Amino acid sequence: MHVHAHDSPPFLDKNDGRRMAFPPIIIRNTCMTSGNTGSMAGSLPAHSRKITAPACLGKQGFFVTLQLKNRILAPQNRIMGKGKLAKFAEMKEMSNVFEYPFSVVDNVPFTMKGHWRDEYFHNDNPIVLELGCGKGEYTVGLARLYPDVNFIGVDIKGARMWTGAKLAQEQQLPNVAFLRTSIEIIDRFFDRDEVQEIWLTFSDPQMKNVHKRLTSTFFMERYRRFLVDGGLIHLKTDSNFLFTYTRLMVERNGLPTDVCTDDLYHATPEGLMGSPLLTIQTYYESMWIERGLNIRYLRFHLPQADTLAEPDVEIPLDEYRSYHRTKRSSKTTAR
């Protein structure tokens, strides 16, 4: 058995993309069993195969545990692709992008909390967030329509966000910024009363986990930490589950509602007739419309008073998963 350690970059499991925590080694022709460096536990191809395996020193020598199962381990740049790497590198140089994922936020102070207007936008205009902005086309579209409003798109997917950030730069839109972070910690980046409105466009309905649902009372309490009293929240979705859940949550807590429609483009409410908002469609929204799905829209206010309660009603699940665009078996209800 020939074992050789390398000082190469971390490897990823190609099947699930997880970063392996152990150093890569090369196994030649033989496998090791616990504490027996000479045992033939199986066969490998004649050529060397680079894999990742946990290793430690024990009483009987070099102890290695291997589990191949036809998995292929590959360097990170092969899995991510040159295009994504180039986008991530370019985003680091973009003046309209701020990157604070979990791995950074605890170590690098974010000094712009409470100072977005004076330090970045250099005006006193209202601030509107799009949470889960994806490619950012809705954020950019809103910024074009309303040049006297500041818009910030928030998402954790940097390669997607690059599209909107690049477009905003090319169109020289000074009222656009993008924040790459997890929405679970969104309140770390905005101070009390710093934001006037929130857009939630085609969010994952999270039918199995209410605490990850962006319209849950859990997130509403997060939003209250930086949204002005009575600030607006816009929900635009193709998911009947998410729309129904949010409507019931709003009704149970008596939140003021301006617009509520389960068919935005075929039963447009009077208050939205001729609105320029109807002219903005995301890539996925256009796809849902082509598939004949209704687009649902709900606009309500979030006051600061009173603790919010979850709706105590069974809600039928969607027959498909909006976010992943795949069919799913139809189950009955969820909360």
Q: Which residues are catalytic?
A: 204
Rounded CA separation 59/61 (Å): 6
Token pair 């687009």 is found at 295
CA angle 29–32–34, rounded 5-degree value? 180
Q: Beta strands 315-316 and 333-334: pairing type?
A: antiparallel
318 labelled binding-site residue: no
Number of H helices, E strands in the chain: 9, 19
13 labelled binding-site residue: no
283 labelled binding-site residue: yes
Chain centroid to Cα 24, Å, comes to: 31
Tokens coding 44: 């490998």
282 labelled binding-site residue: yes
Tokens coding 305: 């008073």
284 labelled binding-site residue: yes
Q: Beta strands 296-302 and 257-261: pairing type?
A: antiparallel
| Residue 150, strand partner residues | 127
212 labelled binding-site residue: no
CB 72 within 8 A of CB 14: yes
CA angle 88–96–94, rounded 5-degree value? 40
Radius of gyration over alpha carbons of the chain, in Å? 25
204 labelled binding-site residue: yes
Binding positions for substrate are: 208, 238, 282-285
Instruction: Tell me the binding residues for S-adenosyl-L-methionine.
Output: 130, 155, 204
Binding positions are 130, 155, 204, 208, 238, 282-285
